[in-house]
Amino acid sequence: MDIGVLLPTGTAQWGAYDDAGELIAFGRHAERAGFTSLFVNDSLVSPRIEALTMLAALAPVTDTVTLGTAALMPFLRRPIQAAQSLASIDLLSGGRLTVTVGAGFPGRFGRPLYTLSELPWERRFARLDETVALWRALWDGAGAFQGEILRFTDIPPTTRPFRAGGPPVWLGGATPAALARAGRLYDGWLPYPPDPADYASGLHAIHKAAADAGRTTEAITPALFVSVRIDDDIDSGRRALDDYARATYGMPLPELEKIQAVVSGSENQVLERLEAYVAAGARHIVVRLGCLGMHAQRDQLERLADLIPAVRRACGPASTSAGLGTVTSHD
């Protein structure tokens, strides 16, 4: 059972006197506190530390934690350039990189970014899948790639990652098409469904798609992205989460809760809710701390760290073969 934390790389999550350099110390502290992964998210439309730059900075100052993206949007970068950057981070970290990818979605995190990247919005999912296939080909030493959208010949030698085949690549998203693609093509799944029952049904669909493609269920890491706020005063905690939702997404908390997994309440209430996702099949939980300011982030990190043993116990010894954190072969 892996439990990780999303670093607050966006300036909307910082306090007035916070220093970006504190993110390094925050990541190192999370590793010492027992978290097994550090994740960062990706965007062009909000001020933040660029995702791959953040992971490269963390690689030499951490020892064991997985370094991951949640989620990287490959269309923001040239595909061969991105393959080079990801391979470099995997090398620098000694093979600790995990890459979750997404194609963006309608709204300010979707079509406008494609316009800025000078790419068409149409066929974005096919472009995403081909980009990942290109990365894997380059990481295996290919000198050419011929897809329907991406075509390259005479590719000079590129940086090879630490691990043969490169880092595992997970897919975000929970539409029926995304579930089928995750089962066929990807090494893991990182969604944020508000209802644990939807997580369970989504994972079942992924396993079916994997079986139909001749893959084993162990080849796919079942992960979860969830916002968490621990507070003994429920009303105060909800107000703080609402401030976070408005600062981060420009929407009130009740609207965010309709589309993303959000868990709040006392330690016992948060634990009970996380256990429901574990029972639904989640085996790598990536937590976004629902608070503003680095001091508050540290406080929530400490409170969540106290729950790590109990969340791991909820997984149970019979579930340790779920493939968490393992390097799997690619299709």
Domains in the chain, CATH or no CATH each: 2-319 (3.20.20.30)
Residue 319's pLDDT is 42
Structure tokens, 131: 């980009």
Tell the residue number behind the tokens 């990365």, with chain if given. Answer: 135
Which of 301, 309, 241, 233 shows the shortest CA–CA distance to 275? 309
112: CB partners within 8 A, 6+ apart: 45
**Distance between CA 36 and CA 50 in Å, rounded?**
22
Tell the residue number behind the tokens 């709204």, with chain if given. Answer: 107
Structure tokens, 222: 């079942």
Q: Is 56 exposed, middle or buried (0-12, 13-18, 19+ CB in 10 A)?
A: middle
- Predicted confidence (pLDDT) per residue in 20-63, tens digit: 999 999 999 999 999 999 999 998 877 899 999 999 999 999 99
Omega within 30 of 0 (cis) for the link into 178: no
**Distance between CA 319 and CA 81 in Å, rounded?**
38
**Distance between CA 301 and CA 236 in Å, rounded?**
18
Q: Are the C-beta atoms of residues 226 and 286 closer than 8 Å to each other? A: yes
161: phi then psi, degrees, rounded to nearest 5: -70, 175
**Distance between CA 62 and CA 68 in Å, rounded?**
13
- Other Cβ atoms less than 10 A from the Cβ of 211: the count is 12
Residue 120's pLDDT is 94
Residue 314's pLDDT is 92
Q: Are the C-beta atoms of residues 145 and 152 closer than 8 Å to each other? A: yes
255: CB partners within 8 A, 6+ apart: 245
**Counting runs of H as helices and runs of E as strands, what totals does the chain give?**
12, 11
Residue 16's pLDDT is 78
Q: What is the pTM of this model?
A: 0.94
**198-203 contacts at long range (C-beta below 8 A, 24 or more positions apart):** 198/174, 199/224, 199/277, 199/280, 199/281, 199/282, 200/280, 200/281, 202/174, 203/280, 203/281
Ordered alpha helix ranges (H), 117-175: 124-139
Give the residue ranges of the chain where pLDDT is below 50.
Answer: 318-331
Residue 317's pLDDT is 62
**What is the radius of gyration, based on Cα positions, of the chain?**
19
**Distance between CA 249 and CA 113 in Å, rounded?**
16
194: left (phi over 0), alpha (psi -120 to 50) or beta: alpha
Taking the CA atoms of residue 123, residue 161, residue 99 and residue 127 in that order, the dihedral angle to the nearest 10 degrees is 0
